[in-house]
Amino acid sequence: MVTSDTLFSSALPVTSAVGDALKECAQGATGGLETLARLTVPHLTAIARHFLDAPRDVEDVIHDTLVLAWHNVWRFDPAAESPHAWLMQVFASRLASQRLALATPADATPWRLDVDRVVLPPPLTDAQRPTLDALMALYQQLPPASVDDALKARLCCAISLLDASRDMPLTPGGEPADPSLYDPSLGPRMSLSRLAQRAKGLVNRSLTLPLEHLALRLWLSEAPGSRPLEARGLPRRGIESRYGEALDVSVDPRRLLKQIHYPRSFPDRRERHRISDRLLWDGDWDLSTTHALSSRRMHFIADIWAHRRDPSQSRSYHQLAERLARGKPVASHSDGMVLDRPERILAYLRRYLLYMEAMACFGFDNGLGKDRLGAAVDRHGELVKINKGLHRMAMAQVIGIPRVEVRVRGIHRQWWDQVSEGAKGDTAMLRVLAALPDCRPSAAD
C-alpha cells in the first residue's frame, strides 16, 4: 500500500516515462498512477504555484489533474499526441477552472442562486486557458518544486480508494460502488436492484425488443394491422434500435430551457408509465412545461459549481448536513451510499464536481451516464427536455458546453401528422427523420 512517506521517495524505474505510466493506468494498474505522480507532480506543482497563491488551490488542481487523467486515460491516443501534451491539456483545463473560480468568488458572484431561476455563470472560454505551448515551456524552465505533505496525503488517499474500488460490489449500472460513500448495510438492497436491472434488461433483449422489431417491420411495410400500431403510438424502443443516431439533434444546451412537468403533463400515473414505450405522444402534454433554470437539479449543480473551491460553504452541503443532524442522512440503495458523515457529504459533492471538471476538459460525452440526454418534439416542432439525463444537462448548461446531442424519444402526434403529410409506414418515417435536424429548442417563458 502506497503511503505519503513512500510515494515521492521511492526510486523510479530506469525505463519510466509519462507514456509508460499512462499505459499502465490504461491497464487499470494504480502503480502507473503512482509513477505518473512521481514523474509529474513536482513539475506541475511548480507551474501551479506560478499561477496560484493559495496552497489549497494548488493542491486541488494537481489532485484533480491526476484523478481526471486516471479516469479518462482511455481517451489518450499515443498516435495523435505526446503523453506530456495530453496530460498538460488536462492540467490546463483544471487550472483555468480554478482561476475562474478565484475571479468570481461565490460570495460576490454576478449570477444568483437565491432566486427561482438560476442565472447561469459565464462559460469557461479557450482564451482563459493557458496555452499548451506556454505550459510546456514552464514545465521545461521551472525547477521541480517540493510537494506539500497535504498533497502527498491526498494523492495517497486517492490511490488507495482506486485500489479499494476493485473489491467493491457493483451498482445496478455495473460500476463498482464508490468506496468513499459505500455502506455495507445497503449491499443486499443494491445487489437486489442490480439483479432486477439485469432481469429487466434480459426481458427487453429477449422478448420486448424482438416483438417491437416485428411490429415495426409490419408498420414500415404497411402490412395488415399496421394502422392500430400507429394509433397506439408506435414502438419507441424498436424505432430507436433501428434508426439510432438519426433520432439525435444537436442543440445549444443553454437554449433548451423548457422541460416537461410529468405530473401535470400526464396526470394519469399509468399513462405516465406507458409513455416511455411510445414514440408518438397525444394530448396537451407540451402545454404544461417548466423552466429548466428553476429546477431543483439546476440549483444543486449551480450551487456546488459556484462553491467548488470550498463545497462545505455551499447551500447543498448545509442542507445535507442538516438532514444528517436530524438523523435522516441521504441514502441510496442503488448506489450503496449513505451520507452519514460530513466527510462523506463532501466526497459526494466533489464527485459531481469531478464530473463537471471532466466535462469542461473533454466536452460532453454521450457514452457516459445511465441514459442519453432525451428530448421530445412538441406540436410546433420545437424541442422540450424530458426526464433523461437531467443532471448531466444541468452540468452542461452551468459550465457552458456549446453543443450536445439529444435523442428524440417522443414526438407530438400533431407535428408527426403535419410532417408526414398523410404518408404511412417507411415513407412517413423517412420524412420525419429528415425534418428532425431542423427542430430547435422552444423559447422559454
Q: What is the reported pLDDT for 12?
A: 54
Q: Tell me the per-residue pLDDT of 38-86, one tens digit each, with 9 for 90 and over.
A: 999 999 999 999 999 999 999 999 999 999 999 999 999 999 989 999 9
What mean pLDDT is reported for the chain?
A: 90
Please name which of 438, 434, 432 lies closest in space to residue 410, comparing C-alpha atoms.
Answer: 432
The answer to whether 16 and 108 have CB atoms below 8 angstroms apart is: no
Residue 360 in this model has a pLDDT that exceeds 70: yes
Say if residue 443's pLDDT is above 80: no
Per-residue model confidence (pLDDT) at position 126: 67
- Distance from C-alpha of 419 to C-alpha of 436, rounded to nearest angstrom: 10
Rounded CA gap, 122 and 66, in Å?
26
Contact yes or no for 397/120 (Cβ under 8 A): yes
The predicted structure's pLDDT at residue 387: 87
pLDDT of residue 269: 85
| pLDDT tens per residue across span 160-181 | 999 999 999 988 888 899 999 9
Long-range contacts (CB closer than 8 Å, 24 or more residues apart) made by 132-141: 132/85, 132/88, 132/89, 132/92, 135/47, 135/88, 135/91, 135/92, 136/84, 136/85, 136/88, 138/46, 138/47, 138/50, 139/43, 139/47, 139/84, 139/88
Degrees, nearest 5: CA angle 102-98-131: 115
Q: In the predicted model, is pLDDT for residue 111 greater than 80?
A: no
% of the chain surpassing 90 pLDDT: 68
The pLDDT value recorded for residue 105 is 64
Number of continuous H segments (helices) and E segments (strands) in the chain: 18, 10
How much is the average pLDDT of 122-150? Answer: 86
